[in-house]
Structure formats: C-alpha cells, structure tokens
Amino acid sequence: MNIDSIQNGVVLDHIQAGKSMDIYKYLHLDELDCQVAIIKNARSEHMGKKDIIKIDYPLDLDLDVLGYIDSNITVNIIRDGKRVEKKHLELPHKLVNVIHCKNPRCITVSESQLDAIFLLSDPVKHTYRCAYCETAIDKKF
C-alpha cells in the first residue's frame, strides 16, 4: 500500500485500532475539501495494531475531543513536508459540548443554549460528571 506524504496538515498517529472512524465523525472530517487518508490496523511495535489519519490541510483540531476518544493519540503538525510540532494528548479535565447529560432533570436538557460541561471525576475509570447535576458518565469509546 502506498500513501503519499502530506505537505501541510496533520497526522494523527497511535490511534487505538478501530477508533479512526469515531475521530473522523467527531471532527467532521467529511466536511473538508482536502485529502484525508485513514489507515486502519497498521502494524505497530508498541501497540500491535494502530490506526493513523492523515489530513492534507492545516487544521485547528479540538484536542479535547481527541483526548476524550483516545488519550494516547499523537498529533503531528506538518509544514512543507516536515514535522514541525508533536503533541501528546491526555484525558481532558473539562469537556464542553463534547458529551451531553443523560439526566432528564438536568438544566442542560431544558435549557439547550447552556453549554454541556463535564469534569473528569475519576481518571482511572474515565468517568466524567456533569457540572450542573453531577450525573456520572463513563467514557464509552
């Protein structure tokens, strides 16, 4: 398989195998008018298998969404065909409008203009709690 290198854009590496389509969906990559390559189940020494996404367009990515989906992702910024920056992600401490509260009595359900804010309450179990009603939501990715 031959996937060309990109000149200016982003390479998302070390994605847990099978998670690339979740990232594609949540980052709305289908709306871009550029080349996007998704490599699934690539061989990896450290992970066994991994996914990779190459986006041949300079983007400002929502690192909170990426960190929530898979905190092991490496974000590589490419300029003029060379990596100029490498970012390692972690679970975000605060999520805004990434997940939504399941509690029907939560104010965010009746007041849709309010931001859905969740705070990381248990980093080991990846549990977040609604900032308004404290309903717990476990990470489902």
Residues 98 and 83 in one domain: no
Q: How confident is the model at residue 2 (pLDDT cuts 50, 70, 90)?
A: low
Buried b / exposed e across 91-128, counting CB within 10 Å, b at 16+? ebeebeebbebebeebebbeeeeeebbbebeeeeebeb
The tally of domains found in the chain comes to: 2
Residues 16 and 74 in one domain: yes
pLDDT digits (tens, 9 = 90+) for 30-86: 898 888 999 999 998 888 999 999 999 888 888 888 898 888 999 999 999 899 999
Residues 119 and 77 in one domain: no
**CATH code of residue 128:** 2.30.30.20
Q: Which domain holds residue 29?
A: 9-88
Residues 69 and 100 in one domain: no
Q: Please, are residues 136 and 64 in contact by the beta-carbon 8 Å criterion? A: no
Average pLDDT, the chain: 90
